Amino acid sequence: MKKFTQTAKTLLPALAAVALAGCQSKQPSEMEKQTLPPAPVAKIIPKELTAHGHTRIDNYYWLNNREDTAVINYLKAENEYLDAVMAPTAALQEKLFNEMKGRIKEQDESVPYFLRGYHYITRYEQGGEYPIYTRKKGTPEAPEEVMLNVNEMAKGYAYYQVGGLKISDDNRLLAYGADTVSRRIYTLYFKDLQTSETLKDVIANTTGNMAWAADNKTVFYSRQDLQTLRSFQIWKHVIGTNPQEDQLIYEEKDETFSVGVYRSKSDKYLFIYSSSTLTTEARFLDAAQPNGKFTVFLPREHGHEYSIDHAGNKFYIRTNWQAENFRIMEAEEKAVGNKQAWKELIPHRTDVFVESFDVFKDYLVIEERKEGLIRLRIRPWANPAAEYYVDFGEPTYTAGLSSNPEFNTTILRYGYTSLTTPNSTYEYDMATQTKKLLKQQEVLGGFKSEAYQSERLYATTRDGVQVPISIVYKKGFKKDGKAPLLLYAYGSYGYSTDAYFSSNRLSLLDRGFAFAIAHIRGGQEMGRQWYENGKLLKKKNTFYDFIDCGKYLIAEKYTSPEHLYANGGSAGGLLMGAVANMAPELFKGIVADVPFVDVVTTMLDDSIPLTTSEYDEWGNPNDKTYYDYMLSYSPYDNVEKKAYPHLLVTTGLHDSQVQYWEPAKWVAKLRATKTDNNLLLLKTNMEAGHSGASGRFAPLKEVALEYAFYLYLEGIKE
């Protein structure tokens, strides 16, 4: 592990040189030399937006209407322009698509997991876009029962996604959700697995989240507000009854909270889980008494986050009560509602963040994060002093608890991957401390992990903080500043971006690119404080960290401004927009996927999906302090008359998380304002939402487009 130890002060001369280099002329690539067709020009219709006595003029507010023919025509014109500009890369895109598809084992299946007498398997057939969900009774060698063949179900749909599969306790009924629009609005269906009949019980406008009671006929499910898309209600349905007569069990009145429902590991309890960014509250009900009333486990207290499970005759709680990095506690069933009666199992530590936990008859397993890396801690109930950690043996990696539905077992299943190691599933015997590789993602096409090298670096930022960077490249990579490098980050909501394997990424690495993940503040890689220092009125630390990581990689000769590219999506797309405004000279090109770029306008409009639940992350701009701070970094509001890097921006017409008009408005304003002749492209998937196309292979065409954008800017045509 290489650790960067220079102070911010000693790094300043190098960073100054970087800034100067970014201002120097760059050699144009073949793409930059081509004669471009005229770009679409969005009409200007000024709209005044006033808050706190301050007025902004939004010339492209009119794009906020997907029912307007003029809006659709504009989006289509942008797509046609992109197709024309990227036409020279058509052969390259096709080659990339076939390359990436060719690495996927088409005839494949998951490792079975065992639950209530059945082995459950997800498999794919040759050429199939979608999964086939199956099970086998008793042993893996038993005859296969096909529960759902999503390939058949998806016929006739441009988009199709199945989610939330749940089996009744008697193993007979399957409940599942289907989304055919990509707005994360699911219709619930029920299938009798004995007769293969799909029941008449059909429930529209749900989140896809559900849980069975123990009576094999009662289902609790969550429903969302169709305007804001907030999951705000829990309903109860009894199989065989009219869904119109379903009973409302709980409604979350606070617009900053969302709700869901799940079953405990013991199967004894049902939980309704109500949460905002910083606060949670759980309710529970005996699963054998579905007509009973849910009881509050612990009343909500602002800033108190807790999650609970149940096994044996106790509740287990992950909580940040008097523990910023969380701790694990247990409670007797009679201790509900009284924190003082909880017993501490895993204490709080300032240098270790508790991610999650799982409980078994003889063991407690804790997923922890220290120095940015996941560790699995095994603690025997009978002898806590004999606890130990699972050894993974790589400098940068991703690990995590997998599906472990069985309580009375010594076998732990976990997942593992790294920048050079394909996704792997292990079984670990906690009694003998031995592990067995059950399955590793098979990468076709001659892939050899030893041909690639990964490193863990640390960049010292302008305020003296060391930010980890995970980087991978093909061996033989020269650190002379001439190599292309793609820098990725997210940095919001406390979501930690771990080092993970991507077979698609090999198409860049094999063409000389390095790929790096900047573990910037706003995530929780380095503990809860890492998140706290990258949100609300400290959000700019996220942007500064990314910029300083880029400068560090340039100073250390991994790349140069002529060859540095950046990518991020959603809140990571906000990051892309911010750094494009703050340090455009640092990057040759940027790809912003479904970017959240119109921060102020969106956060002021509580009718837009998911806005109110975001206040604890970004702040509430109805408060002038937050309004002013958001306005100071909002990418759309800070577009200036200056040169920008080459930009490719993607969105989906049905996006439920970041509405399509944000990136569309941003591109329109950039095109009217920026002073350079660099590429500015907008790709709108007219049939999908936030996650893009559905299926195994269709999304590869979107990846191929983005990779072709980077490669052609580098002058790489094949």
- Can 570 be counted among the known catalytic residues? yes
Q: What is the CATH number of the domain that holds 533?
A: 3.40.50.1820
Which pLDDT score, from 0 to 100, does residue 26 have? 43
- Residue from 470, 570, 613, 691 carrying the catalytic annotation: 570
Q: Is 117 helix (H, G, I), strand (E, B) or coil?
A: coil
Q: Domain check: are 542 and 409 in the same one?
A: no
Model's pTM, two decimal places? 0.86
Q: What angle do CA 388, 394, 399 make, to 5 degrees?
A: 60
The radius of gyration of the chain's CA atoms, rounded to the nearest angstrom, is: 26
Residue 631, in any domain of the structure: yes
Domain boundary among 126, 156, 186: 156
Which pLDDT score, from 0 to 100, does residue 255 have? 87
Q: Domain check: are 438 and 463 in the same one?
A: no
Total tally of structural domains belonging to the chain? 3
DSSP letters spanning 491-544: --TT--------TTTHHHHTTT-EEEEE--BTB-TT-HHHHHTTSGGGTHHHHH
Cβ(394)–Cβ(454) under 8 Å?
yes
Residue 536, in any domain of the structure: yes
Residues 6+ apart with CB under 8 A from 595: 568, 569, 570, 572, 573, 574, 576, 577, 635, 649, 651, 658, 662, 663, 666
Domain boundary among 120, 140, 156: 156
- Owning domain of residue 415: 352-442
- Can 449 be counted among the known catalytic residues? no
Q: Domain check: are 522 and 412 in the same one?
A: no
- Residue from 222, 264, 655, 691 carrying the catalytic annotation: 655
Residue 550, in any domain of the structure: yes
Q: Rounded to whole angstroms, how far apart are CA atoms 274 and 559? A: 46
Inter-CA distances, 345 with 288, 335, 408, 453, Å = 29, 16, 20, 39
- Mean pLDDT in each 10-residue stretch from start to end of the chain (718 residues)? 28 29 42 76 97 97 94 96 96 97 92 92 92 95 96 92 94 95 89 96 94 98 86 96 97 93 94 94 97 96 95 93 96 87 95 95 94 93 94 83 91 95 95 94 95 96 97 97 98 93 97 98 95 97 98 98 97 98 98 96 82 86 97 98 98 86 97 97 85 76 97 94
Q: Domain check: are 505 and 603 in the same one?
A: yes
- Can 310 be counted among the known catalytic residues? no
DSSP letters spanning 632-693: HH-TTTT--SS---EEEEEEETT-SSS-THHHHHHHHHHHHH--S---EEEEEETT-BTTBS
- Residue from 646, 690, 691, 694 carrying the catalytic annotation: 690
Q: Domain check: are 473 and 421 in the same one?
A: no
Q: Domain check: are 364 and 480 in the same one?
A: no
Q: Domain check: are 388 and 532 in the same one?
A: no
DSSP letters spanning 585-611: GG-SEEEEES----HHHHHH-TTSTT-
Q: Domain check: are 675 and 690 in the same one?
A: yes
Tokens of 172: 């007979």
Residue 434, in any domain of the structure: yes
Q: Domain check: are 432 and 482 in the same one?
A: no
Residue 570, in any domain of the structure: yes
Residue 580, in any domain of the structure: yes
pLDDT in tens, 340-359: 999 999 999 999 999 999 99
Residue 85, in any domain of the structure: no
Residue 452, in any domain of the structure: yes
Tokens of 151: 């390939």
Q: Domain check: are 628 and 684 in the same one?
A: yes
Q: Domain check: are 384 and 480 in the same one?
A: no
Q: Domain check: are 557 and 425 in the same one?
A: no
